[in-house]
Chain A
Amino acid sequence: MSSRAPAHLTLGPLLFHWPAHKRRDFYLRIADEAPIDTVYLGEVVCSKREPFFEPYLDEVAERLRSAGKTVVFSTLALVTSKREVAAIHERAASGWLLEANDVACVQILERAPHVVGPYINVVNEGARDFLVSRGAIRIALPVELPATSIRAIAATASSTSIEVHAFGRQPLSVAMRCYHARSHNLTKDHCQLVCSLDADGLTATTVDGMDVLTINGTQTLSHGYGVLFAELASLRDAGVTYFRLSPHDIDMVRVAEIYRDVLDGKQNASDALQALRPVAGYVPFINGFVHGREGMSWV
């Protein structure tokens, strides 16, 4: 254990469209109470949501920084309009550390230091090395990768840090089309922001009654919460140093405390699972991807 590099806990970008005041209060509590090192702000899913939180962004970032946390600004996973491109230019010029979730952001940043987010396919050493040469200081790997790939990428990643998704619904796809709007017989251009009705996403069930996916605007997520506990030690041994918790409408401070305790060796994996269960409500846990299995499975 002692030879391992320190393990950092990060709070990924909030994927859901919460009211701005709720979002602000959430982050202020994270600033005050959560054992989290790095917080990703910014909108990843839909640029139509961006203006709502904008007035609170600087205040929240300042409070997080004052609490000793590093703040990263996450950018859109699918950039298609000139307005969205201009917004990334503007953000890049403002001096924030950005997380690039579309290759557009990597191009805009030239060689400025940045985080490569999980929506850019970095699944091998070749892609890793090229992006490091373009300024990637950390790479958050796609959720689909099995541990064998994570190990191969992390083991020889001498000049960059590797981050993996350790908690929360796993992002499975992004699209131009808004499925939340579609579920209400609306279109993306006239969506009435119906995604705000579901603080943790909208469950999609199979025709024979299995809860299987979660709709979040243009994004599709897993139904279950991805949960890595037993896997953390071997991932750390492989060189992974950042572990991402994806925000949900549950007690995320408590979630962070449980993960911190596991990383610090104060709690074992099975006790951690028991502790997490009541916090997570009825949502099932999944971890199939990291084991090279169906992502929706629990191994």
Chain B
Amino acid sequence: MSAGYLELVCPAGTPAALRAAVDAGADAVYCGFRDRTNARNYPGLNFEFEELTEGVSYAHERGCKVLVAINTFPLAGNAGVWHRAVDQAAAAQADAVILADIGLLDYAARRHPELRRHLSVQASAANAPSIAFYRDRFDVKRVVLPRVLSVADVKALISETAIETEVFAFGSVGPMSEGRCFLSSYFTGVSPTSEGACAPASHVAYLNQGGRVLSKLGQVTLNTVAPGEAAAYPTPCKGRYVTHGRASYLFEEPVGLNAIRILPELKEAGVTALKIEGRQRSRAYVTQVVGTFRRALDALARGETATEPLEELQLDAEGGRETLGAYRKGWR
């Protein structure tokens, strides 16, 4: 792929979603095993080894890569599950593994030096020396940048580190430094970093109270909304909290990230790949969002600006509203 080509990296929560993403024009899909080794360990999602092998064949036959996310942090005394996941990704002929834990990166670099390593957003590498650490110690080839950086920050990091970067283009907005957020386990006792599920559905409850819908995570009330009011999935950072006597979305509004309007800026900044978030979303979502981004990127490659109406995409955004998140100046 030529310099300046923006690679489209797409979510595959299931084998069907993988095929949908490939068919809709993904350059790469990313997926995980059906266990706690990846950060989307939700019921009904993810891949067994055989499914991954079949998915890799399907993708490779159509010129698409497969990246395997093994991006949770191995439990002390029990790293074997995570080591096996890396071994199986290599055996399935995956094109890369996406890792976050220093111990697991060390294992993968020593045991499978030929297997390409990407740094997960869960490693929260937001500055040049951190990226250099992972690049120099574990020969990481690409870093998925945290969702807390502006376009100018992204551009500066690329010039300082000379490494491939992947940035989030569509999906949810993560205001916290990822991989280092313990809010969900503080509320539920289930750790996203080691068990792969922020705000697990088993701990989420919706109650009807006087015509309003109350969302709870564990014993904690995260929000109360009127019928029809926009609401995000009840992760702790999307809740409404009271400070100074006023209830507000203290951390982040119920909005979804959509960077489709700034693709030229991201390309100009030197970004290698765009990530579409949403392994927990439906196959229809994958087809819709991947297809829209594919057409926008093809138009960009031809030197045209996207003319396609983008309203449909808004419906796919979390909470039904969209934002440029940290890319936009003033977000902080």
A183 to B249, CA, bound (A): 9
Q: Mark A108-149, 1 if CB is under 8 A from B, else 0.
A: 100000000001011111111111001000000011110011
| Given A202-B243, A206-B221: A172 in contact with B182 (beta carbons within 8 A) | yes
Q: Which residues of A sit under 8 angstroms from B326, Cβ to Cβ?
A: 176-177
Stretch at the interface among A28-36, A49-57, A76-84, A249-257: A76-84
Which segment, of A9-17, A64-72, A210-218, A229-237, faces chain B?
A: A210-218
Residues of A close to B233: CB separation below 8 A:
none
- Interface pair B175/A175, CB less than 8 Å apart: yes
A172 to chain B, nearest CB (A): 5
A38 at the interface (CB under 8 A from B): no
- A125 and B77 contact, Cβ closer than 8 Å, known pairs A80-B126, A210-B221: yes
Q: How far is the CA of A293 from the CA of B185 in the complex (A)?
A: 8
Contact A125 B79 (CB under 8 A): yes
Interface residue from B76, B146, B183, B247 paired with A173 (Cβ < 8 Å): B183
A288: Cβ under 8 A from any B Cβ: yes
Q: Fill in one digit per residue for B182-204: 1 if any A CB lies within 8 Å of its CB, else 0.
A: 11011111010110000000000
Indicate which residue in B73, B242, B251 contacts A205 across the interface (CB closer than 8 Å): B242
CB distance from A133 to the nearest CB of B (A): 9
Question: A103 touching B251 by the CB < 8 A rule?
Answer: no
Report the contact-size class of chain B (Cβ under 8 Å from the partner).
35 or more
Indicate if A207 sits at the interface (CB-CB under 8 A). yes
| A: number of interface residues (CB 8 Å) | 76
Residue of A nearest to B176 (CB): A173
Residues on B with beta carbons closer than 8 Å to the beta carbon of A208: 214, 221, 224
> Are A129 and B330 closer than 8 Å at their CB atoms?
no
Decide if B244 is an interface residue (CB 8 Å cutoff). yes
Chain A residue nearest to B239 in the complex (CB): A206
Between-chain CB contacts (< 8 Å), 24 pairs: A103-B123, A107-B130, A121-B100, A121-B101, A121-B180, A126-B101, A126-B106, A127-B73, A127-B103, A143-B182, A149-B76, A173-B177, A173-B180, A175-B251, A176-B332, A183-B244, A203-B243, A205-B242, A207-B240, A213-B183, A288-B186, A295-B185, A296-B186, A296-B220
A-B pairs with the 10 shortest C-beta distances?
A126-B103, A295-B186, A152-B77, A152-B76, A176-B148, A104-B129, A107-B133, A188-B332, A127-B103, A149-B76
Q: Which residues of B contact A (CB under 8 A)?
A: 73-77, 79, 100-104, 106-107, 123-130, 132-134, 136-137, 146, 148-149, 153, 156, 175-177, 179-183, 185-189, 191, 193-194, 214, 218-224, 237, 239-244, 247-248, 250-251, 326, 330-332
